[in-house]
Amino acid sequence: MAERPIELAKNGAAHLYAACEAALEAGEIDEAEWHRRIAAVITPAYLAAETPWAQSGKSGDAASWERARSLIAEAARPGTFLDVGCASGYLMECMVRWCSVRFRPGPS
């Protein structure tokens, strides 16, 4: 069985990314077209997933998602949290839940 190149093992869209980067650097496309081409492939792939964590790019089950992502809540401090462009928004939904438990006032 042939092994995939490491770039494709880490990122199945590595070929798409490389082609878009090359076209952008060559002046064949602008940044808006770069984003359009990437989104045209990534968006349907994410939305085709059956679970919210898979739509956020994480394989496995709900427990695997929480183990991998809830660590972010451990680093959070009370106040504002900025989530910029994180797939479906499921991470932010989970952060609200995780942080509400973490920062729940204790008994007086």
Predicted confidence at residue 41, as pLDDT, reads 85
Predicted structure pTM score: 0.58
In order, the DSSP letters of 25-82 are HTTSS-HHHHHHHHHHHHHHHHHH-SSTTTTTT--S-HHHHHHHHTHHHHH--SS---
pLDDT (mean) for 83-93: 80
Give percent of the chain with pLDDT exceeding 70.
Answer: 83
Q: Is the pLDDT of residue 33 over 70?
A: yes
Domain ranges of the chain: 1-48, 52-108
Predicted confidence at residue 8, as pLDDT, reads 59
